[in-house]
């Protein structure tokens, strides 16, 4: 399950996201909204697979109030794990 810490840069660099953007993010059940500071909004996204992760990123980046989506953290715990898998 991919888990990503994301930072959305808001197009208008507002100190808080608009109610409309918050409503759109609330509709994304795979997203938890964190604090906003200086026009940057923290999110945590937990998706079941890389395809859904990519689709979420594309939706977030296409939002009219979002200037950019940046990755702050990524964790792919179960990808590639299985019998005989090794980790450093």
| CATH code of residue 36 | 3.30.70.920
Name the pTM for this structure.
0.81
Name the helix (H) or strand (E) containing 61.
Answer: helix 50-62
Residue 43 within any structural domain of the chain: yes
Rounded Cα distance between 11 and 30, Å, is 22
Residue 80 within any structural domain of the chain: no
pLDDT in tens, 36-79: 999 999 999 999 988 899 999 999 999 999 999 999 998 877 55
Question: How far are the Cα atoms of 37, 69, 71 from residue 5, in angstroms, in the given order?
Answer: 15, 10, 6
Residue 87 within any structural domain of the chain: no
For residue 15, give its domain range.
Answer: 2-75
pLDDT in tens, 68-80: 999 999 887 755 5
Q: pLDDT class for 88, splitting at 50, 70, 90?
A: very low
């Amino acid at each position: 399950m991919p888990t990503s810490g994301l930072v959305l840069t808001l197009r208008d660099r507002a100190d808080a996201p608009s109610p409309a953007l918050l409503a759109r993010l609330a509709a994304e059940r795979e997203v938890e909204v964190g604090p906003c500071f200086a026009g940057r909004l923290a999110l945590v996204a937990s998706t079941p697979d890389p395809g859904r992760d990519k689709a979420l990123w594309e939706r977030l980046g296409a939002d009219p109030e979002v200037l950019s989506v940046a990755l702050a953290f990524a964790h792919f715990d179960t990808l590639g794990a299985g019998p005989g898998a090794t980790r450093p």
